[in-house]
Chain A
Amino acid sequence: MFIINTNAMEKLIAGKSVAVNEEGYLTDFSQWDKSIAEELAQEAGISLSPRHWEVLAYLQNEHQNQVALSIRRVGKSNVVDIKEFYQLFPTAPLKTATKIAGIPKPVSCI
């Protein structure tokens, strides 16, 4: 097989069966809801505060508008600066936050 990103599988999250890729990212955003986000956050060791939800909503909105997400862009968004983004979603914030938000992992890089 050449195209490896389409290997969809099902995963049980918050009692619902949802389609995910091999890295655990949802492949169908319509299956996302807040209980799924809560559980994915828990897996990443994060408990979601109102600030987390604001950032997640921003990321989902950008994704809907087909904006390519990058750390740089998030930092200039006026929603959250990079320092706080790291505090909210430690280690690899963009990867973690997009997973919880139910949107694809950004392909900012080639």
Chain B
Amino acid sequence: MKNLVILGAGTGGTMMANHLHHHLQSPDWRITIIDERKEHHYQPGYLFLPFDMYSPDDIVKSVEEFIPDGVHLLQQKILRIAPTENKIHLENGNEIPYDVLIVATGAKIAPEETEGMRGTEWHQSVFDFYTFEGSLALRDKLRDWQGGKLVVHITEMPIKCPVAPLEFAFLADSFFKEKKMRDKVEITYVTPLSGAFTKPKATEALEHLLKEKNIQIESDFAIEHVDNTTKEIVDYGGRSIPFDILVTVPTNKGDELMARSGMGDDLNYIPTDKATLRSKDYENIFVLGDASNIPASKAGSVTHFEAEILTENILRFVHGEPLKEEFDGHANCFIETGNGKALLIDFNYTHEPVEGSFPFQGIGPLRLLKESRMNHMGKLAFRWIYWNVLLKGTHIPFVPATMSVPKKQ
């Protein structure tokens, strides 16, 4: 019997378990998924938690619930990967051998990378919303905040869901409008980029929205430290921006496991072939989602598209066939713009987000790069799709893994 091992039971790992158990079955194959966590979090929900739009119940379910029968779930801490021995060493001393390994351990925030970020003001006036704890602490703070300077900040790229901080700023604008205190809140969006987003076309649309919502933008800001006494963020060029509440996206890093295993780059991401999703160093190791260093967005939609292609490549690999070089960096995301509206963007490694409609050109129902209520409904519906369709590895009709360019103009 051969062993396929998946590390990480988040979005990517769970989808792969669901895809592969149809194809690699006993007695020829045994599939094992290893993750010490007991809870599966719907990470996009962290954005809505601070504004009381979602409650913790909407976001948290058990890991076990989404792992199919016949796949072995090991809830143990992983000590290290030994890629030359084809073994996983667990903290409890056990060793798990593998023939094929899929790494889907994700990325997480590392506030300790910036001086003073995890200082005395952490979760007092300095918050993240990329963790459950951070989002909840921020919710409690915003519930009775009387106003002042709200600074929404990105430390450095790449980050998970690069549009989330913008969405946060938009949602904050409508949150304070609804509370009839928008005039008491000054919102500033601080980014290390030269503009609102990484792709020029979307940047244009998004900067227009920032202006319309009276959100100031401070670009090209590379933070050096957070001053917990004066409550300022200071950049390497000496520029400083004061805050009453700082909502920051700290540096994102891959799992520490990569450092322990000697497999990651300086941010603990695994060097990965961007078209086949195979590790550049080991032919029987594949990397899915945020754990890899491929130049695609770190987002659930990307992982979803990758999973369809990776499934095929794993099957080709186990049958001794050449891998398909098919992944094109396809990303697709709803951008909440506040007041019950959202934008939808669709792009890949080489193509900019374009205007049009999705998934059917000229029909929609969703409009690309245009604010609409339908897009907002799409974003909210996505949570249901995530729990009920996506994790189970069911193909979403009419939404192909690679970007369908000719449909959009």
Contacts and interface: CB of A to CB of B under 8 A. Distances in A.
* Chain A contact surface mostly: loop
Contacts of A86: 222, 236-237
Interface residues of B, number: 28
A2 B158 contact: no
Nearest to A110: B297
B200 interface: yes
B162 interface: yes
Given A76-B266, A83-B236, A108 B351 contact: no
Interface in A55-75: 68, 70-73
A12 interface: no
Contacts, number: 56
A71 B236 CA distance: 11
A95 interface: yes
A71 B251 CA distance: 12
A82 B222 contact: yes
A81 to B, nearest CB: 9
B193 A72 contact: no
B237 A110 contact: no
A110 B295 contact: yes
Contacts of B26: none
Given A71-B156, A73-B266, A110-B162, A92 B220 contact: yes
A107 B156 contact: no
Given A76-B266, A110-B297, A91 B237 contact: yes
A82 B158 contact: no
Contact of A110 (B192, B198, B222): B198
B224 interface: yes
Given A72-B266, A108-B157, 13 more contacts: A3-B350, A3-B351, A4-B200, A71-B192, A71-B222, A76-B266, A82-B222, A82-B224, A86-B222, A92-B194, A95-B220, A108-B158, A110-B296
Interface of A: 2-4, 68, 70-73, 76, 82-83, 85-86, 90-92, 95, 107-110
